[in-house]
Amino acid sequence: MIAKLQGRGDTVGTVRAAKVESRDQGRLEQPIFAAFAQQAVQALLNPKCATPPLPKDMLGTPRTLYFEF
């Protein structure tokens, strides 16, 4: 199972907001996918995991980040 998420990263790459990407919104009607996607959003917002190791050229400005869990 793969969930596509979209997050808002700040200047140091920390994800400050996250949601299921529009392409996967329709799958949220499936309870198991919804639970899986919710856990993925939780993981992105977890302080331990909210700052992925982005390349330096992706830092410095807030940007939209895309994830696949």
Partner 1 sequence: MTRFKIQPLSRRGILGAGAATFIAPRAFAQSALGGDDTTAAPAPAASGGNNGPAISVSGAQSAPIPIAVAPFTDPTGNPSQYGGQITGVLSDDLGHSGLFRPIDPTSFVPNSVANGTPVWQNWSILGAQALITGDVADQGGGQLRVEFRLWNVAQQAQVQGTAYTTTVDNWRRIAHIIGDVVYQQMIGEKGYFDSRVAYISEAGSTTSPVKRLAVMDYDGANNQFLTDGSSMALSPEYNPARQQLAFVSYQSNNPRVYLFNLQTGSERLVGGFGDLSIGPKFSPDGNSLLMSVSRNGGAAIVRMSADGGGMTELTNYASINVSPSFSPDGSQIVFNSDRDGNQQLFVMNADGSGAKRISFGAGRYAEPAWSPRGDLICYTFWGSDVGGFSIGVMAPDGSGERILSQGFLVESASFCPNGRVIMFYRQTPTPDGHNSRLVTIGIDGFNERLVDTPSNASDPSWGPLLA
Give contact residues for partner 1 (rule: CB under 8 A).
2, 4, 6, 21-23, 30-36, 38-43, 45-46, 48-49, 52-55, 57-58, 64-69
Closest contact distance (angstroms) between CB of 61 and partner 1 is 11
Contacts for 9 with CB less than 8 Å, ≥ 6 apart: 15, 16, 54, 62, 63, 64, 65
* Minimal distance, residue 62 CB to partner 1, in Å: 14
CB atoms within 10 A of CB 7: 21
Give the nearer residue to partner 1 in terms of CB position, either 10 or 36: 36
DSSP designation for 66: E
